Chain A
Amino acid sequence: MRALILVGGYGTRLRPLTLSRPKPLVEFANKPILLHQIEALVEAGVIEVILAVSYRAEQMEEELSLEAKKLGVSIVFSHETEPLGTAGPIALARDILKKSDDPFFVLNSDIICEFPFKELALFHKQHGREGTIVVTKVEEPSKYGVVVYNEFNAIQSFVEKPQEFISNKINAGLYILNPTVIDRIKLQPTSIEKEVFPDMAKDGHLYAFELEGFWMDVGQPKDFLSGMCMYLKSLRRKDPDRLYKGPGVVGNVLVDSTAKIGANCQIGPNVTIGPGAVIEDGACIKRCTILRDATIRSHSWLENCIIGWRCTVGRWVRMEGITVLGEDVIVKDELYINGGQVLPHKNIASSVPEPQIIM
């Protein structure tokens, strides 16, 4: 089986992190977002993954080729010369996708969930129609486009931002499609959600697969952190041995084995600490992602932050309010940062008490 991942553009919503690293390579729970997906695909029997990108991605190709070899999967880059939307890339990759008659997976690249690809493929085979959309339940469907389907899971319609309750299931951005669907798509900028799926639904060729467990689009910092909390919670249930059990830990915490944590720290709940990171004595960290080789110095207090690669956060610093530090940022001792978005390689020497972008 094959899969196509819609990587797309520059990942501007996840800046300043994506100024240093393409979004799919930003580590979510200590693993590049894309690898979460590729690993799950390989598990389900995928042998070739096509990455639809709209920019030159040498860094990504280089880093992924190594991982691909390890996983025994081949990775193909499909470059869009102009942005083709969510459906166009499928037409662009038709030669590869049409190599076999097997259905193929399509994924939006920012999605994190428990990826039930095997079950999805099985469900798809059982109903025998052209396509299946994974749907997930949301609290406030009025904010989204909802999917309406019957008791046999055959999709009847899509309703954009419903005024009255009609369904609480939304498109989760994961699909499995037969190669025949490619004939429905022209090689031009096209939206699969708006221009392809409604017709398939009308023809009775589109089914809904209900997702179990959590689901999050982690394409922006706020959701990145929410997604991390959900991921760690699911890890607690499925693979608790991977969670950190050192002293001073509260709740679900994931720590790379090469990270160092000092004495008298309070880490958690919901913290991810990357390889080579150093947490000095007496730091308190909650609901944060600390990326590779970052240093959090003594007595600092962090909540709701993403700390970029190789950053140094000084002593007695307080950071909160979805603060994101880009790569190699230095925050001096005793500062207060609230909702700061700091671009890479900055040296912060005065407090940022209100949310602000620091160029």
Chain B
Amino acid sequence: MLKAVILIGGPQKGTRFRPLSLDIPKPLFPVAGLPLIQHHIEACIAVEGLKEILLIGYYPVSQIQQFVNDMNQQYNIIIRYLQEFTALGTAGGLYHFRDQIRCGNPDAFFVMNGDVCSDFPLQEVYSFHKEKGNKALVTIMGTEATRQQSLNYGCIATDKATQEVTHYVEKPSSYVSTLINCGIYAFSVDIFHIIGEAFIAKQQDFYRNGNGAKETGYIELEKEVLSLLAGSGKLFAFQVNNWWSQLKTAGSAIYANRHYLELYRSKHPERLCQNAAVGNNTKICNILPDVYIHASATIHPTALIGPNVSIGPGVTVGPGVRIRESIILADAVIENHSLVLHSIVGHNSRVGRWTRVEGTPSDPDPNKPFAKMENPPLFNHDGRLNPSITILGCYVSVPSETILLNSVVLPHKELTRSFKNEIIL
């Protein structure tokens, strides 16, 4: 029997994802029509023998419960949310809920960071893990990064013959390895002995020396567990070359959206809109694939949508609208003849007629192999806003015949004119 844990963090995390995370927990932000961690859940469903999925984080239950109920209804599997009493770190949460994870004595459990995007080859990760025998406590899914970008991730040095991790450093200051930690793991339950040791050492340190401002149960998996395990023969790395990305900034949502839509081609072609009428589906509008449109959205037949667009439930798209490389969230309205490019339109927002909502994409460097999202800071050295995708928070209204270029609009704002390269509070 197998289990899976998805680490979803809490409201203090994901601030770089604002304003999109202001009214919805980042793990529930819809990418390619599904809440971000539903992609994790779907990957778990596909794993044979996986019986339970535990979401661990410190969001109030009220913000997560509806989603958990929906998932339980949608999939035939046990899904539960375990709320930490405070932020416990990536390993602290696992340790705190160790009995919940261990109960039923699973052969192994997966751990996934909630903010990674991937096709989650969990079956392969597990096969690899099992192959390594009893001595393997942890298998990290790793992927190649550029030399320079590797410094922003957990870097893994391995023995090429055995795939054993010989050295692990989280966000090193100088080059260690281009193999990076994807935040997707297979764990054996014996890992709790190791985390337990780290926990006890921390407690003792606290009571002996009285230092440490953080909660004593706060344990970082990467720094306090994986680094120690490296070189012990118990930590392995499984290298994949599939698409993988983190969802840190709002800009990376457009990029993740594009790749999840592409994955639908092979895994869920029924979720993608077709240009010609197929089966029972009548043609919605002019489509340039890949496009996801929720069944409850109202799209005028003269609209031209795609590529790489996701349209949420209850959205209204008027005649002659053009949408490309964008995410339109629930109940938004895009009025006649408007254009939305490289943008995210928050739920219940309204874009007037002949309006242009345009952002600048921040995709990985296409000329470098293994390049990842850059996630540049909001402002450059001159204090100017870095051009980025345009984001409308929820309940924003953009008047007719205006342009909104490379701007971020916070929720509930009624704009009265055009804006370029601004954050509108």
Contacts and interface: CB of A to CB of B under 8 A. Distances in A.
Nearest to B400: A284
A282 B336 CA distance: 8
B339 A316 contact: yes
A36 interface: no
A318 B322 CA distance: 13
Contacts of A303: 401
Contact of B320 (A299, A318, A353): A299
Nearest to B406: A353
A336 B405 contact: yes
Given A282-B337, A284-B401, A299-B337, A264 B319 contact: yes
Nearest to A302: B354
Contacts of B341: 334
A264 B336 CA distance: 10
A336 B356 CA distance: 9
A281 B322 CA distance: 14
Given A284-B337, A299-B337, A316-B339, A264 B320 contact: yes
Given A284-B401, A336-B403, A353-B420, A301 B356 contact: yes
B358 interface: yes
Contact of B405 (A284, A301, A353): A353
A320 B420 CA distance: 14
Contacts of A315: 322
A316 B353 CA distance: 12
B420 A284 contact: no
Nearest to B337: A299
A356 to B, nearest CB: 15
B404 to A, nearest CB: 11
Nearest to A353: B405
Interface string B327-344: 000000000110101000
B319 A318 contact: no
Contacts of B26: none
Interface string A234-278: 000000000000000000000000000000101000000000000
Contact of B358 (A281, A301, A336): A336
Contacts of B96: none
A318 B358 CA distance: 11
Contacts of B403: 318, 320, 336
A298 interface: yes
Given A282-B337, A336-B405, A301 B354 contact: yes
Contacts of B320: 264, 281-282, 298-299
A316 B403 CA distance: 12
B347 interface: no
Q: Chain A, interface size: which category?
A: 10 to 19
A284 B403 CA distance: 14
A334 B358 CA distance: 10
B259 interface: no
Contacts of B401: 284, 301, 303
Interface string B368-379: 000000000000
A334 B324 contact: yes
A318 B339 contact: yes
A318 B356 contact: yes
A315 B353 CA distance: 15
Contacts of A353: 405, 420
Contact of B339 (A264, A266, A299): A299
Contacts of B324: 334
A171 B368 CA distance: 65
B322 A334 contact: yes
Nearest to B303: A299
A339 B354 CA distance: 19
B77 to A, nearest CB: 43
Interface string B297-334: 00000000000000000000001101010000000000
Interface string A292-327: 000000110101000000000001101010000000
A349 B341 CA distance: 16
Contact of B322 (A264, A316, A336): A316
A125 to B, nearest CB: 52
A273 to B, nearest CB: 18
A298 B286 CA distance: 15
Tell me which of B319, B324, B339, B358 has the highest count of chain A C-beta atoms within 10 A of its own C-beta: B339
Nearest to B322: A316
A284 B354 contact: yes
Contacts of B337: 282, 284, 299, 301, 316
Given A318-B339, A353-B405, A282 B358 contact: no
Contact of A334 (B336, B339, B353, B405): B339
B126 to A, nearest CB: 45
A197 B320 CA distance: 59
Interface string A72-86: 000000000000000
A297 to B, nearest CB: 11
A230 to B, nearest CB: 23
B352 to A, nearest CB: 11
Contacts of A318: 339, 356, 403
Nearest to A318: B356
A299 B338 CA distance: 7
A295 B272 CA distance: 35
Interface in A72-128: none
Most buried by B among A264, A266, A299: A299
Contacts of A301: 337, 354, 356, 401
A318 B353 CA distance: 12
- Listed residue (B320, B353, B420) with the most chain A CB atoms within 10 angstroms of its CB: B320
Interface in B383-425: 401, 403, 405, 420
Contacts of A282: 319-320, 336-337
B243 to A, nearest CB: 27
A73 to B, nearest CB: 44
A62 B324 CA distance: 49
18 contacts: A266-B354, A281-B320, A282-B319, A282-B336, A284-B337, A284-B354, A298-B320, A299-B322, A299-B354, A301-B356, A316-B322, A316-B339, A318-B339, A334-B322, A336-B356, A336-B358, A336-B403, A353-B405
Identify the 8 closest CB pairs spanning chains A and B, nearest first.
A299-B337, A301-B354, A282-B320, A316-B339, A299-B320, A316-B322, A284-B354, A318-B356
Interface of A: 264, 266, 281-282, 284, 298-299, 301, 303, 315-316, 318, 320, 334, 336, 353
Given A282-B337, A284-B401, A336-B358, 16 more contacts: A281-B320, A282-B320, A284-B353, A299-B322, A299-B339, A301-B356, A301-B401, A316-B322, A316-B339, A316-B356, A320-B403, A334-B324, A334-B339, A334-B341, A336-B403, A353-B420
